[in-house]
Amino acid sequence: MKPQYRGEDVEGNRVWGTPVQYLSKSGRQVYRITFQGGKIYDASGALFDTTDASTVFSGEGKAIFVMDENGDFYASKFQQVGRFHHSSLAGGEPVAAAGEMKVEHGVLILLSNKSGHYRPGRTFTEQALDSLSRKGISTDGVTRDFV
Amino acid sequence: MLNQRSKSLIRALLYPIQFDRNPVDGVERVLKLVVDAGALGATPPEYLASTKAALASSEKLSKLIPQEHSEKVIRRYLMKIQQRLSSIPGASSHSAGKRGVTPAIPLPEVAQNS
């Protein structure tokens, strides 16, 4: 995470003033997405779909995601400046990938590396795509939205 | 010098457009997802007052968050934000800081196909 955002989870911090929510390891489980039969599922077991999601970078139709050092993915359909960011999903810890994803009926459509807090290079997104491929997700037709 | 609160509000306005090729294209998205959403608990008058203060300051606004747009591009974007916020009824700077009422941001004028 960029050092400028350190301490943002504390009330009265010098970044936003208001605290950003940082999820604990147990708290982030409701945001975990899993993979089965080539499809993506949310924590409730339903097909993941970002049609009703939005990010501050792209507007509607995408969710923010992070991949941790174990290759586990967490995604949120909600992002709000100064309240909930990629850093929220990771509890402020380092990530193996971060960005946005567009998913329709469990099918991955797009992956980006747009994360203001982590600003990861393309390598990290490729890392995420490799991990997804190993989990049975087809990445051939997936749009790569690199910045 | 910008005060801490104004710096935070300007960060909130800059954060969403850091990856936009042309930040001005993101103005309406930011007004909806930041200002209208009351991000950081601020009202449109507070965002307007902070934008005016920022544009009148010598602060390096492009350095308030890690991003790659130039100072010129960032200030042009904030100028557009200021113009749009100024068009909101009741969002004048004298009422900045009063909370509780968040005026809805009117949509920009668009050409009508008829």
The model's pLDDT over B75-95, given as tens digits with 9 standing for 90+, comes to 999 999 999 999 988 776 544
Mutate to test the interface with A, among B5, B8, B22, B35 (most CBs of A within 10 A): B8
Domain-located, residue A146 = no
Nearest C-alpha of chain A: how many angstroms from B82?
Answer: 19
Residue A74 — very low, low, confident or very high, per pLDDT cuts 50/70/90? very high
Q: What is the mean pLDDT of residues B94-109?
A: 51
HSE value, Cβ hemisphere, 13 Å, CA-based, for A72: 12
Question: Which residue in chain A is spatially nearest to B12 when comparing CA positions?
Answer: A81
Find the residue in A nearest to B13 (Cα).
A81
From A136's Cα to the closest Cα of chain B, the distance in A is 30
Does residue B40 sit at the A interface (CB-CB below 8 Å)?
yes
**Is the minimum CB–CB distance between A14 and chain B shorter than 8 Å?**
yes
Can you give the pLDDT at residue A12? 96
Q: By the 8 A CB rule, do A1 and A9 touch?
A: no
Full domain range(s) for residue A102:
3-141
| Domains of chain A: total | 1
Share of chain A above pLDDT 70, in %: 100
Is the pLDDT at A138 greater than 50? The verdict is: yes
Mutate to test the interface with A, among B15, B27, B30, B34 (most CBs of A within 10 A): B15
Query: In the prediction, which pLDDT does B107 show?
Result: 55
pLDDT given for residue B88 in this prediction: 83
Q: How many C-beta atoms surround the C-beta of residue A121 within 10 A?
A: 12
Residue A147 placed within a domain: no
Contact across the interface for B33 and A116, Cβ inside 8 Å: no
Considering only CB atoms, B15 lies closest to which of A18, A59, A116, namely A116
Q: What is the pLDDT of residues A4-36, one digit of tens each?
A: 999 999 999 999 999 999 999 999 999 999 999
Over residues A86-115, the pLDDT tens digits come to: 999 999 999 999 999 999 999 999 999 999
Q: Is the pLDDT of residue B72 over 60?
A: yes
Which candidate from A81, A114, A119 shows the least CB-CB separation from B34?
A81
Tell me which DSSP letter residue B108 carries. P
Is A27 part of a structural domain of the chain?
A: yes
pLDDT category of residue B103 using cuts at 50, 70 and 90 = low
Mean local confidence (pLDDT), B94-108: 51
Residue B101: pLDDT above 50? no
Q: What mean pLDDT is reported for chain A?
A: 97
Residue B25, SS3 per DSSP = helix
Closest-CA distance of chain A to residue B29, Å = 7
Across the interface, whether the CB atoms of A82 and B12 are under 8 A apart is answered yes
Instruction: Please state the rounded mean pLDDT for residues B9-29.
Output: 98
pLDDT confidence of residue B90: 75
Question: Between the CA atoms of A105, A106, A110 and A116, what dihedral angle is there, to the nearest 10 degrees?
Answer: 110
ipTM for the whole complex: 0.96
Any A CB within 8 A of B78 CB: no
pLDDT of residue B89: 80
B81: chain A residues, CB-CB within 8 Å: none
Whether A117 has a pLDDT exceeding 90, the answer reads yes
Are B60 and B6 in contact by the 8 Å Cβ rule? The answer is no
Instruction: Confirm whether A104 is domain-assigned.
Output: yes
The percentage of chain B sitting over the pLDDT mark of 90, rounded to a whole number, equals: 75
**Is 90 exceeded by the pLDDT of residue A118?**
yes
The residue to which tokens 């007004």 are assigned: B31
Is the pLDDT higher at B97 or at B1?
A: B1
Q: Tell me phi and psi for residue B13, to 5 degrees.
A: -75, -30
d(CA B112, CA B114): 6
